[in-house]
A and B are shown apart, each in its own frame.
Chain A
Amino acid sequence: MKVLSSKKILKYQYVVGLILFLVIISIMNPRFLTLSNFLNVFRQISLNSIIAAGMTFVILTGGIDLSVGSTLAISGAIAASMIASGVNVGIAFFAALAVGALIGTFNGFVISKGRVPAFIATLATMTLVRGYTLVYTQGKPISTGYEKSAEAFAKIGEGYLFGIPVPIYITAIIFALSFYILKYTRLGRYIYALGGNEEATFLSGINTNKVKIYVYTISGIFAALAGIIITSRLSSAQPQAGSGYELDAIAAVVLGGTSPSGGVGGVIGTIIGALIIGILNNALNLMDVSSYYQLLAKGVVILVAVLLDRKNK
């Protein structure tokens, strides 16, 4: 094994920061360093992590996706109503993902072919999809009901496999897949190129529109997956589910060292970013800090981390 150079260590500053953070918290609160608490943290961050993984693809191209929270809500609502009417879990699952993919593809089209800035385009879809969710649900929660499939559906968010919550497995699969795509495939290479220099990417013979459509579609699918998990866990879909989730996802991505202007970063950073936010929340909870202060602390951590990152560059 190669010895880590100082540059490499800098690159892993987040890991170092995270470990330091863990040590301090466990000294302050012994309850923190228990397996059950850890599984708890991981399950809590799974939603944000999955959305943030999709957001990483988008931000790497230099874009942004504000519509993920709304996508989560509509996908969950559609899954819930399908399950309630007795549809097979697999069909409901893929239907919900398809809805997410559709919204993402729509975003990608508007942004690439329509040449609308991503911020504006996804702001519009965010509002539009939230509006449609309210119309669809009549503003009321949709219960997954008591059909046979509801029981199976509940396992997605609530179930355990070998003592570990199912959402943790899903998160792991999503991150492995994202890592693979970004590191080893053509699409991954194109994503970094696009974020680094769009004009050069176009002149290199790459269909930049297609790459953009792909990343927003991925983001939409991941958001829908998060929608399925939360609906399963609550056994109902809330019309306001996912509000503000886009900001948590963006925070995790940027905290993980992915450049907001694109081209630099990756999903490993994002999982660490999501972990930092998750552990911070958990630790403050264990220490009985009020949720108002938690928000305050989260803001400070994000700001400090990003400033440190700037300084290193």
Chain B
Amino acid sequence: MNNVILEMKGITKEFPGVKALKGVDFRVIDGKVMALLGENGAGKSTLMKILTGVYQRTSGEMYYRGEKVEFRNSKESQDKGIAIIHQDLNLISNLTIGENIFLGREPVNKFHKINWKKLFNDSRKLLEQLGVNEDPGGLLGELSLGKQQMVEIAKALSINARVIIMDEPTDSLTHKETLKLFEVIRQLKKEGRSIVYISHKLKEVFEICDYATVLRDGMFIAENSTKELTEDKIVELMVGRKLGQQFPRIEVKGGETALEVKGLKNRYLNNVSFKVNKGEILGVSGLMGAGRTELAKTIFGAIKKEGGEIIIDGKKIDIKSPEEGINEGISYVSEDRKENGLFLGLSVKKNMSISALKSLSKALWKIDGKEEESICLNFVKDMSIKTPSIEQMIKNLSGGNQQKVAIAKSLATNPKVLILDEPTRGVDVGAKKEIYDIINRFKKQGMAIIMISSEITEILGMSDRIMVMHGGEIMGIIDGGEATQEKIMGCAFGIKGVQS
């Protein structure tokens, strides 16, 4: 084995009432990519926060380049050459690319005037190093997410980082951008830099990582060369048990049409028409920017439609707001539960019932507290949501449980059509399976389900039919049985498929 550049030994971190890390060992090998894997809540982010000095450990030791180190804040770790690239990039969109790269470390003359020429020249050199042809004087906000990620990497290079931590770096990247990122990672390795790669996408781990460390429940489980691992093995290490069939697609006898969309048009959509039946899951696939979320929001009433018809149960309806959408039996679970799906400062109960309060309030708009509580308790039991009580703040729940609450919130409105936008994003493997089971349960009850997802395996495994979008248009609707990854990707990249 090569040189160990960074080693954390027996790291323990206690928060009031919780032991987040229990004696974790973690190593980074010089010039290699180390995957850090584990379910949500396994302690990955806590460990990285300790490594970068954001948190202070309760006990344990850290060695970096042969020295015992102590980082009291993130600046100290940065100065030593440890950089972290967060999942939701830490960039400022109304500043230029160059300003972002050197934010807080701008080159200045002795009168503290910023040396713009040097700043932009240095930025250009760094970007070229990464194969990005962008003017560093351009606004960051005008870059694609993939390129913004490159700016973050340039920032890491600008402090000459030896260890770069990437937290879910491909989460919002297109396939092409992901490949480009991998190229850059390989180049960084050649330059002798080490990468810590945190991801939920196991395929990527095998493609780009040399080693993998698995955590579970705040404990170190294993460190292995990826050559000696398989996907199944990793999943088993992460969840501590063998998983059954991941995608239990169930067959439901064809029902009648629940939702029909005809020629839907607005600035995001071009003449979109399709049908969903009762008891059917229609998967919606496509690349970022294909118009999938916009389609969902247009049907739901959150985005204005400029043409076309929406028909539910044979009745043409006119929806102008989510309020009307819910009244007509459409419910939408947003793709970003933290940003616009849940109320992080409110309790599990208040989150779950918010969309259904109309049916829960009598005279004077008083909410029927008992009824509300019993409905919420039912969902908690039904979906096995792990929470100490329904009065618990939602922000204290794990990602998977938060997502279940988000789904329960939609289900509480008794929808005929349920639109799920990225239902398992940022959810760990074990909870994913539970969410699939929940979706299937409602499918069996005859709900029409539209499931938007960027995970092809999920789309393939769950959908009865798969609709692929590109540039606001439907490129093809493929039968679940005949769908393959190639067919879907073909359509997603704009090659027309078979309309069925």
Closest Cβ–Cβ distance, residue B17 to chain A (whole Å): 11
| Contacting pair B341 A189 (CB below 8 A) | no
Q: Which of B339, B344, B367 contacts A189 (CB 8 A)?
A: B367
A303-B340 Cα distance, complex, nearest whole Å = 33
When distances are taken between beta carbons in the complex, the residues of chain A under 8 Å from B300 are 203
When distances are taken between beta carbons in the complex, the residues of chain B under 8 Å from A189 are 350, 353-354, 357, 367
Closest Cβ–Cβ distance, residue A310 to chain B (whole Å): 16
A201-B341 Cα distance, complex, nearest whole Å = 8
When distances are taken between beta carbons in the complex, the residues of chain A under 8 Å from B355 are 204-206
Task: Scan residues 294-338 of chain B and give those whose CB is less than 8 A from a CB of chain A.
Answer: 300, 302, 321-323, 325-327, 332, 334
Query: Mask for B201-219, Cβ within 8 A of A = 1, else 0?
Result: 0000000000000000000
When distances are taken between beta carbons in the complex, the residues of chain A under 8 Å from B341 are 200, 203
When distances are taken between beta carbons in the complex, the residues of chain A under 8 Å from B413 are 205
| Contacting pair B366 A203 (CB below 8 A) | no
Q: Which of B322, B334, B353, B365 contacts A205 (CB 8 A)?
A: B322
| Contacting pair B322 A185 (CB below 8 A) | no
| Contacting pair B365 A193 (CB below 8 A) | no
A184-B361 Cα distance, complex, nearest whole Å = 10
A149-B365 Cα distance, complex, nearest whole Å = 36
When distances are taken between beta carbons in the complex, the residues of chain B under 8 Å from A190 are 354, 357
Majority SS at the chain B contact face = helix
| Contacting pair B343 A185 (CB below 8 A) | no
| Contacting pair A264 B357 (CB below 8 A) | no
Closest Cβ–Cβ distance, residue B296 to chain A (whole Å): 10
| Contacting pair A193 B354 (CB below 8 A) | yes
A205-B321 Cα distance, complex, nearest whole Å = 7
When distances are taken between beta carbons in the complex, the residues of chain B under 8 Å from A193 are 343, 346, 350, 354
| Contacting pair B345 A205 (CB below 8 A) | no
Task: Scan residues 239-253 of chain A and give those whose CB is less than 8 A from a CB of chain B.
Answer: none
| Contacting pair B322 A202 (CB below 8 A) | yes
With an 8 Å Cβ cutoff, the count of chain B residues facing the other chain is 32
A193-B365 Cα distance, complex, nearest whole Å = 16
Closest Cβ–Cβ distance, residue A185 to chain B (whole Å): 4
| Chain B, residue nearest A205 (CB) | B326
| Contacting pair A185 B354 (CB below 8 A) | no
Instruction: Please tell me if A207 contacts chain B, counting CB pairs below 8 Å.
Output: yes
Range of interface residues on chain A? 20 to 34
A200-B346 Cα distance, complex, nearest whole Å = 12
A149-B340 Cα distance, complex, nearest whole Å = 54
Query: Mask for A252-280, Cβ within 8 A of B = 1, else 0?
Result: 00000000000110000000000000000
Residue with the highest number of chain B CB atoms closer than 10 Å, among A202, A205, A206: A205
Given A196-B345, A200-B341, are A184 and B354 also a contact pair (CB < 8 Å)?
no
| Contacting pair A204 B366 (CB below 8 A) | no
Instruction: Please tell me if B342 contacts chain A, counting CB pairs below 8 Å.
Output: yes
Closest Cβ–Cβ distance, residue B130 to chain A (whole Å): 34
Closest Cβ–Cβ distance, residue A5 to chain B (whole Å): 12
When distances are taken between beta carbons in the complex, the residues of chain B under 8 Å from A205 are 321-323, 325-327, 355, 413
| Chain A, residue nearest B321 (CB) | A207
Instruction: Please tell me if B364 contacts chain A, counting CB pairs below 8 Å.
Output: yes
| Contacting pair B340 A186 (CB below 8 A) | no
A132-B50 Cα distance, complex, nearest whole Å = 61
When distances are taken between beta carbons in the complex, the residues of chain A under 8 Å from B361 are 185-186
Q: Which of A199, A206, A207, A264 contacts B354 (CB 8 A)?
A: A206
| Contacting pair A196 B343 (CB below 8 A) | yes
| Contacting pair B367 A200 (CB below 8 A) | no
When distances are taken between beta carbons in the complex, the residues of chain B under 8 Å from A263 are 343, 345
| Contacting pair B346 A196 (CB below 8 A) | yes
Q: Which of B321, B339, B344, B345 contacts A199 (CB 8 A)?
A: B339
A196-B340 Cα distance, complex, nearest whole Å = 10
When distances are taken between beta carbons in the complex, the residues of chain A under 8 Å from B364 are 185
Q: Which 4 pairs across A and B sit closest by C-beta, in order of nearness?
A: A205-B326, A199-B340, A185-B365, A196-B343
Residues of A within 8 A of B (CB): 184-187, 189-190, 192-193, 196-197, 199-207, 263-264
Q: Give me 15 other A-B pairs in contact (C-beta within 8 A), A189-B354, A197-B340, A205-B325 excluded.
A: A184-B366, A185-B367, A187-B365, A189-B350, A189-B367, A193-B346, A193-B350, A196-B344, A196-B345, A200-B339, A200-B340, A200-B341, A203-B302, A203-B341, A205-B323
Residues of B within 8 A of A (CB): 300, 302, 321-323, 325-327, 332, 334, 339-346, 350, 353-355, 357-358, 361, 364-367, 369, 409, 413
8 A/B residue pairs, CB under 8 Å, sorted by A:
A184-B369, A202-B322, A205-B322, A205-B327, A205-B355, A206-B322, A206-B355, A264-B345
